[in-house]
Amino acid sequence: MSDSATRLDAELNERWENLEAAGATASGGLHTIDIPVATHDGDLLLGAGPGGRRLLVPLAADQHATFKEDRRSSALLLLKRQLERNGALWWYADLSCPQPQLNHVFVALIVDVLARIEVNPDKGLMAMRRCMTEWRALFASRERVLTVRELAGLFGELMILQRLLERDPDCLELWRGPLHEPHDFSNGIRAVEVKASLADEGHIFQVHGLEQLQPPPTGSLLLAHLRIAQTLEEGSTVPDLVATCRELSATGGFGARIEGSGYNTEHEESYRKISFELLEQSWFEVVDDFPRIVPESFGSGGKPEGITAVAYDVDLAGIAVTPLSEEAVEAHLVEMLASK
pTM, two decimal places: 0.60
Task: Say yes or no: 111 and 52 in one domain.
Answer: yes
Same domain, 129 and 188: no
CB 257 within 8 A of CB 56: no
The radius of gyration of the chain from alpha carbons, rounded to an integer in Å, stands at 22
Q: Are residues 309 and 176 in the same domain?
A: yes
Q: Both 154 and 110 in a single domain?
A: no
What is the predicted pLDDT for the residue at 264? 82
Same domain for 159 and 289:
yes
Based on the fold, state whether residues 162 and 76 are members of the same structural domain: no
Point out the domain boundary residue: 95, 116, 141. 141
- Model confidence pLDDT, tens digit, residues 189-236: 999 999 999 988 889 999 999 999 999 999 999 999 999 998 876 789
> Closest Cα to residue 271, out of 137, 156, 100?
100
Angle at 230 between CA 228 and CA 234, to 5 degrees: 105
8 Å CB contact between 273 and 196:
no
Write the burial class of residue 221 (CB in 10 Å: 0-12 exposed, 13-18 middle, 19+ buried). Answer: buried
Say yes or no: 136 and 12 in one domain. yes
Whether residue 272 is found in the same domain as residue 302: yes
Domain that holds residue 96: 3-141
Among residues 76, 109, 141, which one ends one of the domains? 141
pLDDT of amino acid 185: 97
Residues 136 and 154 in one domain: no
pLDDT tens digits, one per residue of 36-69: 888 989 999 999 888 889 999 999 989 999 999 9
Clarify whether residues 59 and 190 are in a common domain.
no
The total of structural domains in the chain comes to 2
Q: Which CATH number does the domain housing residue 118 bear?
A: 3.30.200
Hey, how many other C-beta atoms are within 10 angstroms of the C-beta on 263? Answer: 21
- Reported for 297-302, long-range contacts at CB under 8 A and 24+ positions apart, including other chains, are 297/210
* Final residue in a domain of this structure, among 80, 110, 141: 141
Other CB atoms within 10 Å distance of the CB of residue 229: 17
Residue type, 224: A
Query: For residue range 73-90, what is the model confidence (pLDDT) as tens digits?
Result: 878 899 999 998 888 899
Quote the percentage of the chain above a pLDDT of 90: 48
> Both 324 and 278 in a single domain?
yes
d(CA 278, CA 281): 7
Confidence class of residue 137 from pLDDT cuts 50, 70 and 90? low
Whether 101 and 175 map to the same domain: the answer is no
132, 214 Cβ separation under 8 angstroms: no
